[in-house]
Structure 1
Amino acid sequence: MKIAVGNDHVGIELKPVIIEFLESLGHEVVDYGAQTNERTDYPIYGKKVGEEVAAGNVDCGILICGTGVGISIAANKVKGVRAVVCSEPYTAQLSKEHNNTNILAFGSRVIGSELAKMIVKAWLDAEFKGGRHANRVKMIADTERAYLC
């Protein structure tokens, strides 16, 4: 898979760990994140990764900021994005199986590198189950279309 990674200055130390992990799993990584620890604004990176995912230029995205919350909110403003913040693997897995999430976010101030890798692996290994969940994802897309004309 081709995976976009984005981060603000707070995620700068965790990002290379995640990129190395993704590459060790055989994925191609495109880095859209901050390159230094100089203060920057997370919406820039959430939006960029969201746009790349929504356009189909990458298969999915991973975002890192202090908590994962702000950067995921920014990504979720892009039509077609279903970003989730996870601090443990079970939610990451179910977010893909039930909600067909296409961006995973987490906070470098909340979780450590080993837990981050476990979350990423659970999310990447999960598959959307469709069925009753497909109708719910469609309902979300219908709501999005109604408000993001």
Structure 2
Amino acid sequence: MTFQIGTIAIGSDHRAREIVDGLAIHLEPLGWTVHKHYGGDADSVDYPCISDAVTGEVVSGDAVCGVLICGSGIGMSMAANKVDGIRAALVHEPNAAEMSRRHNDANVLCMAASGPIDCDYNEIIDTWLTTDFEGGRHQRRVELMR
């Protein structure tokens, strides 16, 4: 099942504030309510704190899914996957976004602020948000991660 349009929590460290704002501009006209988490100024931000805010919204049901962005995406994905109920996928291109949903039922998308030059964040998130989880043999595998 694809995500039903509702609230999406998006967070970043200090390197990706502009990406978060760009994603919000892209998603809000599509009907999404965007909760942004990224600190108030250009100072360095501790990514685990941002991850906790976003994953907390997802686990509580306040957001249907989450997006996390840091320099490499690695720190955010590691922090997110420590939270029970979170299946965070680090993705750099649309095919991986699709597979993270189709086979792994990812509920948090992690991306790198320093991704490929031609990285299209809007295309990645659109693919991710509109891809169904296949279930079947993948359902059993997802359940083994709980």
* Structure-1-length-normalised TM-score: 0.89
C-alpha displacement of 1:35: 3.2
Match of 2:53, SS? Answer: helix
C-alpha displacement of 1:113: 8.1
1:41 aligns with 2:35: no
CA gap 1:113/1:130 in 2 versus in 1, 3 angstroms: same
Tell me how large the CA RMSD over aligned residues is: 1.4
1:118 aligns with 2:119: no
How many correspondences in the alignment? 141
1:57 aligns with 2:65: no
Tell me which amino acid in the other structure corresponds to 1:115. Answer: D
Which 5+ residue runs of structure 2 have no aligned equivalent? 1-5
CA gap 1:131/1:80 in 2 versus in 1, 3 angstroms: same
Greater relative contact order (Cα < 8 A, sep 6+): 2
Tell me which amino acid in the other structure corresponds to 2:14. Answer: H
Match of 1:58, SS? Answer: coil
2: CA distance between counterparts of 1:112 and 1:57? 33
C-alpha displacement of 1:47: 1.5
Aligned twin of 1:132? 137
Task: Kindly provide the CA deviation profile for residues 13-35 of structure 1, in whole angstroms up to 9, marking residues without a partner as x.
Answer: 21110111111221111112223
1:28 aligns with 2:57: no
* 2:93–2:119 Cα contact (<8 Å) kept: no
Match of 2:145, SS? Answer: helix
* Structure-2-length-normalised TM-score: 0.91
Task: Kindly provide the CA deviation profile for residues 82-138 of structure 1, in whole angstroms up to 9, marking residues without a partner as x.
Answer: 001110000101100111000001011114586111110110010111111100000
C-alpha displacement of 1:72: 1.4
2: CA distance between counterparts of 1:53 and 1:91? 21
Which 5+ residue runs of structure 1 have no aligned equivalent? 142-149
Counterpart pick for 2:89 among 78, 84, 87: 84
Matches within 5 A, 1:8-27: 8-27=13-32
Sequence identity (%)? 38
Aligned twin of 1:147? none
Tell me which amino acid in the other structure corresponds to 1:81. Answer: I
